[in-house]
Amino acid sequence: MTLIDYSLYLVTDRKLLPPGKDYFESLEQSLRGGVTIVQIREKDTDTAEFLDIALRSKDLCDRYKVPLIVNDRLDIALAVQADGLHVGQRDMPVSVARKLLPANTIIGVSCNNLQEIEKAIQDGADYVGIGAVWATTTKDLDKPVIGVRGVGEMLQRLDGTSIKAVAIGGIKSQNLLRTLHGSVSPNNHALDGVAVVSEIMGSLIPEQAAARLSELISSFKRSGCIHKALSVSSDYSVTTVIDGVVDLLNCVRERSPLIHQITNNVVIAQSANATIALGASPIMATTVQEMEDLAKIHGALLVNIGTLVPTAYEGMMAAGTFANARRKPVVFDPVGVGASEFRKKAVGGLLNTWQSSVIKGNAAELAALAGSNEVQSKGVDSVGSGFKDPVSFVRNVARKERKHSISSSCCVVVLSGKIDYISDGTNVAVLENGHELLSKMTGSGCISGSCIASYCAAAMSKAQMAEEDQGKMVIGDMFLGAIGGILALTISAELAAVRDDVKGPGTFFPALIDELSLLSSRIIRERARIQIL
Ligand SMILES: Cc1ncc(COP(=O)(O)OP(=O)(O)O)c(N)n1
Ligand SMILES: Cc1ncsc1CCOP(=O)(O)O
């Protein structure tokens, strides 16, 4: 059986052609742009016309050596000697189609949930079309939008089978990398391809639209993100990490990156002041209309759900998407995620939509995120003494949230507390700086998010974009950025706490701001208490 390349799967829809655009011209241009497999999908066309279109499309696809699949209609697939048939859940069952079609015909089936995947396996499908992964206006959906995390669960069920998988629904160049990075099972089972309708069919220049998508898919594959994910070895040491953090401290001050923060209304002023004290430049903007413009400016994004309201949520969705598209760091603080179903749902929605570069939370927040019962929450706080094995816990959460390569970790996890644990899925940094006065003021955790975002922005600006970075979700060493942000805050807190003018929590905060602004390389080198495991 010939090997099928599912990477860029065009599903046609003539209704979406721009006015005056000829269908066959559009198809040929898409083939030139790099489409690797084509499905002819005609929902309201007479048999004679469908047959004619399928025959001529088959000729074109043959010329480009690209397989042609027919949607729904087994008779048309037979008549044009198509390479395959795609069926939906209400169409002819795969097992029946298999008996009627010539041997070696590819049969694909649409799946929206695990039961349908199970059935596709039993029925012997060659591939599944998993969707809709995102919302779409191309088709009226009668089943829920799955989200990338849901696609990952279905891919897990396909582990050990030879069934290929493509995602479909709302896939555009803007969310393609997020789709590919996010749709992965815990065992690194990734998609074989993506199926696209409107982004190509609706384009005036389909060759360009297809080439853009094709280039992103190739760069994703070139970056080796999936295969390297769990197999990288570490070359971090305490010395290299401290040197790196010192470098970032200077970089924040020299380049003053813009730190866009959608945070809670308890800590807005503190967070902005801490950001300025570090040398970065804060903007506390929540309105959806300005997210695209803000993403164009060099810096990082912080999303904190402390006092979540619907308008800010809309802004968060858009801001993360635009930041991902520019490969900017996205620091996510899922404040109090275990406290209510509303927050859990909101966090699920955000993480399904964009990729965080760093997730920071206390024990209860990360336990809720990881589905662990080991630590309970009380509102936004943790109850009890924390995890028995915080090192393994934080490493596993980082692995789960996707770690893609040593120099551009796609998700670093920070477990905050008296001791802070930071992992990129392989390395774990254990940081023992800090002072108990930090826990006597509101918002010190939220401020640490601002510090991490400032240092991650510096880490991005120090990174040289290499060819293989095109396929990554963030550029720069986020592990170092997260460590730098935490050290800046906790070391400054130690210095502030012992000042003569500090009498308690009230006088501590202004002193903390002073010390953040006075922090130097020498102080970091002298005071950092860090282990790398
Ligand atoms: C690759 C791929 N996946 C899913 C679908 C959807 O098929 P179906 O559920 O049959 O819906 P219609 O396409 O018939 O509207 C697909 N066509 N291709
Ligand atoms: C056919 C189909 N099946 C599930 S979503 C969808 C349409 C996808 O179209 P688009 O790529 O334009 O969102």
Which residue reads 């390349």 in tokens? Answer: 5
Bridge partners (DSSP) listed for residue 414 = 360, 422
Q: Atom of ligand 1 at shortest distance to CA of 89?
A: 9
Task: Extract the tokens encoding 206.
Answer: 């389909």
Can you give the pTM of this predicted structure?
Answer: 0.78
Q: Report how far ligand 1's centroid is from the alpha carbon of 127 (Å).
A: 12
- With a 6 Å cutoff on the Cβ, whether 110 touches ligand 1 is yes
Distance, in Å, from the CA atom of 407 to the CA atom of 409, rounded to the nearest integer, reads 6
**Residue of minimum CA distance from atom 11 in ligand 1:** 88
Ligand 2 site residues (CB inside 6 A) read: 11, 131-132, 136, 138-139, 168-171, 196-198
pLDDT at 226: 46
Q: HEC states along 157-222?
A: HHCCCCCEEEEECCCCHHHHHHHHHHCECCCCCECCEEEECHHHHCCCCHHHHHHHHHHHHHHHHH
Tell me which residue of 168, 88, 174, 87 sits closest to 132, measured CA to CA. 168
Distance, in Å, from the CA atom of 324 to the CA atom of 318, rounded to the nearest integer, reads 10
Q: In this predicted model, what pLDDT tens digit does every residue of 328-386 receive, in sequence order? A: 999 999 999 988 999 999 999 999 889 899 999 999 999 998 888 777 666 666 666 67
For 56, what's the count of Cα atoms within 13 Å in the CB-facing half-sphere? Answer: 11
**Residue of minimum CA distance from atom 8 in ligand 1:** 88
**Catalytic residue list:** 446
CATH topology agreement for domains 8-222 and 238-532: no
Q: How far is CA 456 from CA 27, 34, 369, in A?
A: 43, 35, 22
pLDDT at 470: 67
Q: Phi first, then psi: what are they for 368, rounded to 5°?
A: -60, -40
- With a 6 Å cutoff on the Cβ, whether 496 touches ligand 1 is no
- With a 6 Å cutoff on the Cβ, whether 12 touches ligand 1 is no
Cα radius of gyration rounded to whole Å, the chain: 25
Distance, in Å, from the CA atom of 481 to the CA atom of 488, rounded to the nearest integer, reads 11
Q: Report how far ligand 1's centroid is from the alpha carbon of 14 (Å).
A: 15
Contact 72, 87 (CB under 8 A): yes
Q: Report how far ligand 1's centroid is from the alpha carbon of 189 (Å).
A: 22
- Domain borders along the chain are 8-222, 238-532
Q: Atom of ligand 1 at shortest distance to CA of 9?
A: 1
Distance, in Å, from the CA atom of 25 to the CA atom of 117, rounded to the nearest integer, reads 36
Question: Topology of 238-532 in CATH?
Answer: UDP-N-acetylmuramoyl-L-alanine:D-glutamate ligase (3.40.1190)
Contact 381, 202 (CB under 8 A): no
pLDDT at 408: 41
ipTM summary value = 0.99
**The architecture CATH gives domain 8-222:** Alpha-Beta Barrel (3.20)
Length of the chain: 533
Q: Report how far ligand 1's centroid is from the alpha carbon of 417 (Å).
A: 48
Q: How far is CA 336 from CA 260, 346, 379, 434, in A?
A: 21, 11, 6, 22
499: number of Cβ within 10 Å: 14
Task: Extract the tokens encoding 116.
Answer: 């349908």
Residues of the chain short of pLDDT 70, as ranges, are: 1-2, 223-234, 376-385, 402-410, 465-470
Distance, in Å, from the CA atom of 116 to the CA atom of 161, rounded to the nearest integer, reads 15
